[in-house]
Amino acid sequence: MINFVNHPIAKNALAKLRNKNTELKEYREYSKILTYLIAVEASKKFPTRDIKTNTPFEEVISEVFDFDIILLPILRAGLSMVDSFLEIFPEARIGYVGVRRNEDTLQPEEYYYKIPEVYENTIVIILEPMIATGGTICQTLGRLQLDNINNVVITSIICAPEGFERILSEFPLIDMTTAALDRELNSKGYIIPGLGDAGDRYTGI
């Protein structure tokens, strides 16, 4: 299942990120805004539980989070999404996964993986600004499954249809949230129309 962030603020922020003339400071600001909205959309079905709350006037029944969160940014671009998620989930724990392409086999290979202890009520949120072929995400999902971690949500800023189709073909029940499903991958594997290299533009490299 794929969920889209369909809000004027999100559309404006994405337009700023796509613009090749958007400078570093502004790019970071709009990346943070858009990621915040992605976090809100991705979490709208997360479970809550009722508690009793004493207001200044009376006792009421309120709803609070009933889950544990682990943020799992894919290095390095995924780090750009962490701060916005922490504004909503300040108690979230953070893991890290690093995947790179083997230049001989052209297949994704894990070079780093570290994740906090997962509990029965843990939701793992993968943070990956750009999903192109889907290889990195599928590699990460497969690695999580080896650890019997199945309550996983994918979040991205943009996604290519090729990557989306691959992910759903291998993991048909996965939940994804993105701001845009772009047109295609070009012959070099870049997302079109895209926004360039999210990691480079965020870090200024």
Active site residue 200: yes
Q: What's the rounded Cα separation, in Å, for the pair 66 and 46?
A: 8
Q: State the catalytic residue, choosing from 28, 122, 197, 203.
A: 197
Which pTM value belongs to this model?
A: 0.93
Q: State the catalytic residue, choosing from 101, 143, 166, 175.
A: 101
Q: What's the rounded Cα separation, in Å, for the pair 160 and 192?
A: 8
Q: Name which of 136, 116, 14 is nearest 74 in CA terms.
A: 136
Q: What's the rounded Cα separation, in Å, for the pair 133 and 37?
A: 24
In the chain, where are the structural domains located? 2-46+65-203
Active site residue 101: yes
* Cα within 13 Å of Cα(195), Cβ side: 30
Active site residue 178: no
Sign, CA torsion 10/42/65/91: negative
Per-residue model confidence as pLDDT tens digits over 4-25: 999 999 999 999 999 999 999 9
Per-residue model confidence as pLDDT tens digits over 90-140: 999 999 999 877 666 657 788 999 999 999 999 999 999 999 999 999 999
Sign, CA torsion 116/120/126/127: negative
Q: State the catalytic residue, choosing from 50, 83, 147, 200.
A: 200
- CATH class of residue range 2-46+65-203: alpha beta
Q: What's the rounded Cα separation, in Å, for the pair 156 and 159?
A: 7
